[in-house]
Structure 1
Amino acid sequence: MECERVQAIASLSLTTNSIPLEFIRPEKEQPAITTFCGPVPEIPTIDLSDPDEENRVRSIANASKEWGIFQVVNHGIPDELIGKLQKVGKDFFELPQEEKEVYAKPPDSKSMEGYGTKLQKDSEGKKAWVDHLFHRIWPPSSINYKFWPENPPSYREVNEEYAKHVRAVADKLFSDFSKGLGLEGHVMKEAMGGEEISYLMKINYYPPCPRPDLALGVVAHTDLSAITILVPNEVPGLQVLKDDHWINAKYIPNALIIHVGDQIEIASNGKYKAVMHRTTVDKDKARMSWPVFLEPPEEFVVGPLPQLVDQHNPPKYKAKKFKDYSYCKLNKLPQ
Structure 2
Amino acid sequence: MEVDRVQAIASLSEQIDTIPLEFIRSENEQPAITTLHGVVLEVPVINLSDSDEDKLVELVAEASKKWGIFQVVNHGIPDEAIRKLIEVGKEFFELPKEDKETIAKTPESGIEGYGTSLQKEVDGKKGWVDHLFHRIWPPSAINYKYWPKNPPSYREANEEYAEKLRDVSDKLFKYLSLGVGLEGHELKAATGGDDLIYMMKINYYPPCPRPDLALGVVAHTDMSSLTILVPNEVQGLQVFRDGYWYDVKYIPNALIIHIGDQIEILSNGKYKAVLHRTTVNKEKTRMSWPVFLEPPPEHEVGPISKLVNEENPSKYKSKKFKDYVYCKLNKLPQ
What secondary structure, in the 3-state scheme, does the structure 2 residue paired with 1:168 have?
Answer: helix
Partner of 1:223: 222
Distance 1:84 1:176, change over 3 A: same
> Which whole-Å CA distance do the structure 1 matches of 2:77 and 2:8 have between them?
34
What secondary structure, in the 3-state scheme, does the structure 2 residue paired with 1:103 have?
Answer: coil
The question of whether the paired residues in 1 share the 8 Å contact of 2:41 and 2:248 is answered with no
Partner of 2:78: 78
The question of whether the paired residues in 1 share the 8 Å contact of 2:41 and 2:249 is answered with no
Partner of 1:52: 52
Q: Alpha-carbon deviations, 1:72-110, whole Å to 9, x = none?
A: 00000000110000000000000000000001001x236
> Which whole-Å CA distance do the structure 1 matches of 2:35 and 2:332 have between them?
28
Partner of 2:139: 140
> Which whole-Å CA distance do the structure 1 matches of 2:194 and 2:145 have between them?
24
Partner of 1:9: 9
Q: In the alignment, residue 216 of structure 1 is paired with which amino acid?
A: L
TM-score by length of 2: 0.99
Q: In the alignment, residue 255 of structure 1 is paired with which amino acid?
A: A
> Which whole-Å CA distance do the structure 2 matches of 1:116 and 1:290 have between them?
15
Q: Alpha-carbon deviations, 1:167-215, whole Å to 9, x = none?
A: 1100000000001101110010001010000000000000000000000
Partner of 2:91: 91
Partner of 2:120: 121
What secondary structure, in the 3-state scheme, does the structure 1 residue paired with 2:161 have?
Answer: helix
Give the percent of matched residue pairs that are identical in Structure 1 and Structure 2: 71
Q: In the alignment, residue 83 of structure 1 is paired with which amino acid?
A: R
Q: In the alignment, residue 141 of structure 1 is paired with which amino acid?
A: S
Q: Alpha-carbon deviations, 1:5-59, whole Å to 9, x = none?
A: 0000000000000000000000000000000126565111001111111111111
Deviation at 1:69? 0.3
Q: In the alignment, residue 250 of structure 2 is paired with which amino acid?
A: Y
Partner of 2:151: 152
Gaps of 5+ in 2: none
What secondary structure, in the 3-state scheme, does the structure 1 residue paired with 2:37 have?
Answer: coil
> Which whole-Å CA distance do the structure 2 matches of 1:234 and 1:146 have between them?
30
Distance 1:173 1:5, change over 3 A: same
Gaps of 5+ in 1: none
The question of whether the paired residues in 2 share the 8 Å contact of 1:2 and 1:116 is answered with no
What secondary structure, in the 3-state scheme, does the structure 1 residue paired with 2:19 have?
Answer: coil
> Which whole-Å CA distance do the structure 1 matches of 2:2 and 2:56 have between them?
45
What secondary structure, in the 3-state scheme, does the structure 2 residue paired with 1:36 have?
Answer: strand
Deviation at 1:269? 0.3
What secondary structure, in the 3-state scheme, does the structure 2 residue paired with 1:29 have?
Answer: coil
Q: Does the alignment pair 1:256 with 2:255?
A: yes
Partner of 1:65: 65
Deviation at 1:111? 1.9
Deviation at 1:243? 1.3
Q: In the alignment, residue 10 of structure 1 is paired with which amino acid?
A: A
The question of whether the paired residues in 1 share the 8 Å contact of 2:227 and 2:258 is answered with yes
- Would you identify which runs of 4 or more consecutive aligned residues in structure 1 move more than 6 Å? none
Distance 1:252 1:320, change over 3 A: same
Aligned residues: 334
> Which whole-Å CA distance do the structure 2 matches of 1:42 and 1:104 have between them?
37
> Which whole-Å CA distance do the structure 1 matches of 2:155 and 2:134 have between them?
11
The question of whether the paired residues in 1 share the 8 Å contact of 2:41 and 2:247 is answered with no
Distance 1:40 1:9, change over 3 A: closer
Partner of 1:283: 282
What secondary structure, in the 3-state scheme, does the structure 2 residue paired with 1:210 have?
Answer: coil
Q: In the alignment, residue 183 of structure 2 is paired with which amino acid?
A: E
> Which whole-Å CA distance do the structure 2 matches of 1:115 and 1:63 have between them?
33
What secondary structure, in the 3-state scheme, does the structure 1 residue paired with 2:262 have?
Answer: helix
Deviation at 1:2? 5.7
The question of whether the paired residues in 1 share the 8 Å contact of 2:68 and 2:273 is answered with yes
The question of whether the paired residues in 1 share the 8 Å contact of 2:238 and 2:279 is answered with yes
Partner of 2:23: 23
What secondary structure, in the 3-state scheme, does the structure 2 residue paired with 1:27 have?
Answer: coil
Within 5 Å, give how 1:200-239 maps onto structure 2: 200-239=199-238
Q: In the alignment, residue 202 of structure 1 is paired with which amino acid?
A: K
Deviation at 1:242? 1.0
What secondary structure, in the 3-state scheme, does the structure 2 residue paired with 1:251 have?
Answer: coil
> Which whole-Å CA distance do the structure 1 matches of 2:63 and 2:99 have between them?
42
What secondary structure, in the 3-state scheme, does the structure 1 residue paired with 2:126 have?
Answer: coil
Q: In the alignment, residue 316 of structure 1 is paired with which amino acid?
A: K
Distance 1:96 1:39, change over 3 A: closer
Distance 1:98 1:270, change over 3 A: same
